[in-house]
A and B are shown apart, each in its own frame.
Chain A
């Protein structure tokens, strides 16, 4: 790719981030509602853990506190991961709904630029929104993060970005190929990830077939690693296996998802599925 072409693609990449920023700003009321919904969901999980003592399930104050932390970190991470996943996988659905899908698809840019631009905006927005909820949770539940190893947590977080992008792009193929049912199928994928990735429980409690799904899900390693780093101060060296697995998954998933997206685009063009309403 020559310098001019690279500049052209970078300019478009910025354009996608700028567009998403404008959309978030213009739909601020909706975004506020979703933020509140996410906050309430995370708080509910926190109070669920606090309420376990009234059911006589706790063995001691320390164990209860650990359970609360375990669930809250899971809820917070799921908020972030599901938001980013949703934003990427629904990029196509959104453009169909707005009626701009054809305009974006006939622009003289690489599809990779399009997908990475939308993904970058989603990651930035997901981080900002999760940070707001996280601050609220830390203040409300007086969470003790004095043992947390933030460097390790951030390293795992960064490594998880790649496979998360890959999964999101893979799922965005569904609304591309099925204008009527793709959106619902993307929701189903999100639900399955919640079930198998150990968001609120270790995957060891799952039956064998679901546990296998959990082992293959990059979210499992993200949740596991970040939890360990925040709650038990896992060192960077100790997190290297998880980071390695996540990077490996990313290296496989991102090119594969872009490849299959391109194939899906060719099929959509053959079948005339790029029309705004399908």
Chain B
């Protein structure tokens, strides 16, 4: 559901002191019982996202990016704090929030045996369309994404990861969201597919005046795509500004990069975190 022009230049997302922890300490009886590990995923996160911008959430794996996205998508409730999307509270007014958002996650969530067309028709039905003309819209969208039309009726499982991700993005376009939540949409894609998806993200803002919240751990992607970047680590916001501002303030040298700024802020490289995770 697209926002009106009059709603531009307003706040799309507002977070105040959002905290979320997972796992509860086990109840112990007479000193017995295994204590569960408690993880603080988000710690007093506050931020604002302006309408019509691409805002990047930059952080390593486990930094709290996906938890933040899930809270905004009304799939998870925060333990503390408030979050709103276009003025609607995500806990108290989830139905209103859902009409304005869509989400592209790191793994395309589809019925794998169903075709892209069947999956998109299902999505269209959930978002108030799906009647005459939907097939034409879907074909036009996939054509624009460079996806061969003969893939439209094949089972999703026969499509490559890049093709599946393009269908996921096309599906989100179909519902015309005012806020698009993208959780690492290019992770695992080949360089060409990655470039195509990035171009699409730009076109969403350009053509639809939509707001994009892009979670990524790809520093180069954040640098080229985002108007603003929020760096989070261990559930806490460490910095917030344009890529140029972050580089200037935190990179420590005049020809520094966003990676230098990230290292200075978190004390680690993103690649290190990836290697640790693989080990």
Contact = CB atoms under 8 A, between A and B. Distances in A.
Interface of A: 8, 11-12, 14-16, 18-19, 22-23, 26-27, 98-110, 266, 269-272, 274, 276
B109 A107 contact: no
B76 interface: yes
Interface in B96-118: 98-99, 101, 103, 105, 107, 109-114, 118
B77 interface: yes
Contacts of A12: 125-126, 128
Contacts of A8: 128
A18 B123 CA distance: 11
Nearest to A99: B109
A269 B70 CA distance: 9
Given A19-B122, A23-B111, A272-B70, A102 B105 contact: yes
B214 to A, nearest CB: 18
11 contacts: A8-B128, A19-B118, A22-B118, A26-B111, A26-B113, A98-B111, A99-B110, A100-B110, A102-B103, A102-B109, A108-B126
Given A18-B122, A26-B114, A106 B74 contact: yes
Given A15-B122, A272-B22, A107 B127 contact: yes
A99 B114 CA distance: 13
B81 interface: no
B76 A108 contact: no
A269 B110 contact: no
Interface of B is mostly: loop
A192 to B, nearest CB: 29
A269 B125 contact: no
Contacts of B110: 98-100
A272 to B, nearest CB: 5
B77 A276 contact: no
Interface residues of B, number: 34
Q: B107, B110, B122 — which one has the most chain A CB atoms within 10 A of its CB? A: B122
B130 A100 contact: no
Given A12-B125, A15-B122, A23-B111, A105 B130 contact: no
Given A19-B111, A26-B114, A100-B111, A11 B75 contact: no
Contact of B114 (A23, A266, A276): A23
Contacts of B112: 98-99
A269 B126 contact: no
A229 B176 CA distance: 53
A27 B130 CA distance: 23
Nearest to A108: B98
B76 A272 contact: yes
B95 interface: yes
Contacts of A104: 126
Nearest to B101: A106
Contact of A27 (B73, B107, B113, B129): B113
Q: B101, B112, B125 — which one has the most chain A CB atoms within 10 A of its CB? A: B125
A102 B67 CA distance: 13
